Amino acid sequence: MLKQSRRIRWFLAAVVLAGQFCLAMPTQADNVSYTWIAGDGDWCGGATWSPAAPPTYYGPGLGDTAIINNGATVTSTHNVWLYGLEIGAGSTVAVSNNTYFGLNYNNPPGTPAYYRNDGIFRLDSTGGNASFFLGSGTSTTTLNGTGSLVLGGNINNWWSEGPFVNAATHTVQGGGTIGANISLTNYGLILANNQILRIAAQITNQGSGRLATESGAVMELTGQAGVTGGTLSAGEGTVKLYGGGTLTGNPTLTSFNPGKIEWQDYYLKGPATINALANIIVNKGTSVAMMHLVKDANGNDPTLTNNGTIRVKSTGSTSSMYANYATVTLTGTGSVILEGNDSRLAGGGTGSYINDIGHTIRGTGLVEKPVVNNGAIMAENGWLTIYNVITGTGSVTVADNATLGINRNFGGSLSQRHLEMSRYASLYQWGGPAIELKGNFLFAQQEESRWSLEHGITFSGQGPQQRLEVGGHD
């Protein structure tokens, strides 16, 4: 109580000095429910409330509950602190530029505030802070109702502090900032649909809880943010992951054209599901980009059930999928695409990959960590260079105008079931024997200058015969 009282006195003193406070400073809370009875107007209207607000208040205050349920828009042009807020369908409460709206002040610490919203509760910054928060010591407060907490489009709209639950029927939407002092259990929808919604909070999704974008807006998950479970969806917008934050709890990632997830520098702990339409791009322009894949809190290796597309794209600096002391399994029907000479399938320490049946790794770049390939690896549009051991029962294909390089000097080798060379493909190996085939070698191209097999290929199939097709003839 002492901590809360000090904080209340500090805020009260600050806003009284600034002339921003529409309440006098009472010695105790009245604990009264006030209902708005006028049309659109200012919160500090006095007689616009029933019962009429005391002359020293001009509106509901510390410990009180405000009820707006007649379809009006009530604008708080000064700072407001109270216990509870109830907004009916068709009604709006708007928090003006350079003002604050706090709940559960002057109530015992450890108790929740009251919030029910079937209308709109909106933060309307035009450049200064417009903030909503819980008082110090307030316990977890549920955002109930079928309405929306709307951050009005300016990054200085702050949902700034407190432990909350976002109920399944309630929506948080718009553009602004969800601060690092928010901890949120989300059963509903958090939607970026107006400019930028920047999230630094810890969010645990439960049930149908999801984070999404639309209308060309951007959702930024910063280094302070952590998201557990649920769905992260880039609709007609962009989700940016940067600053070293964390996804965990087997989240589902998806997007819808033209939406995309830009993975700049972020951690995935444990498994995740990537839907068929998902477009994930690991890229940070001319800076290093990294998709960190690590074990979860229980020591489980990451499994990416990928039915979409993960593009590891270098555009001036290194971009990597990075298995950090973990064995990463890539399963599903999707693809990891390396785009650019400095795009890497990389890792730290004992990091390695399993490319499962039906999944594809393809493109141009570097394979720096061991891969057990039971699916498909395809060199396309340039050089795909192997710097480590590729084993398994899958296949490797080199497309027209692409080159497969195997650098034995750095530990590169290829032990696969099938290797297929297109007619205009190239194959180079350095540093000693590096290719072992247990199945078929299909070699359609006919220009000797395009391939270097000075160390030969080892055929180790156990069947009665292995197919060797060179230049289009068996």
Residue 35 falls inside a structural domain: no
Q: Following DSSP, what letter does each residue of 396-449 receive, concatenated?
A: EEE-TT-EEEEEGGGT-EEEESEEEE-TT-EEEEESS--EEESS-EEE----GG
The values of phi and psi at residue 452, to 5°, are: -125, 105
The three-class DSSP label of residue 305 is strand
- Please determine, for residue 456, whether its predicted confidence score (pLDDT) is greater than 80: no
Residue 221 falls inside a structural domain: yes
pLDDT digits (tens, 9 = 90+) for 59-95: 788 889 999 999 999 999 999 999 999 999 999 999 9
**In the chain, what percentage of residues exceed pLDDT 70?**
85
* Whole-structure pTM value: 0.89
- Number of domains forming the structure of the chain: 1
Quick one: pLDDT at residue 109?
Answer: 78
**Enclosing domain of residue 351:** 63-470
- Which are the contacts of 220, defined by CB distance < 8 A and separation ≥ 6? 196, 197, 198, 199, 239, 240, 242
Quick one: pLDDT at residue 432?
Answer: 75
Residue 384 falls inside a structural domain: yes
Residue 12 falls inside a structural domain: no
Residue 323 falls inside a structural domain: yes
Residue 17 falls inside a structural domain: no
Residue 208 falls inside a structural domain: yes
For 139, the token pair is 């316990």
Q: Name which residue leads in pLDDT, 17 or 434.
A: 434
Residue 228 falls inside a structural domain: yes
pLDDT digits (tens, 9 = 90+) for 349-361: 999 999 999 999 9
Place of tokens 């009260």: 12
Q: Are 117 and 170 in contact (CB under 8 A)?
A: yes
Which pairing describes strands 49-50 and 218-221: parallel, antiparallel, or unpaired?
Answer: unpaired
The half-sphere exposure of 170 on its side-chain side, counting CA atoms within 13 A, is 22
Q: Using CA atoms, how far apart are residues 192 and 126, in angstroms rounded to an integer?
A: 18
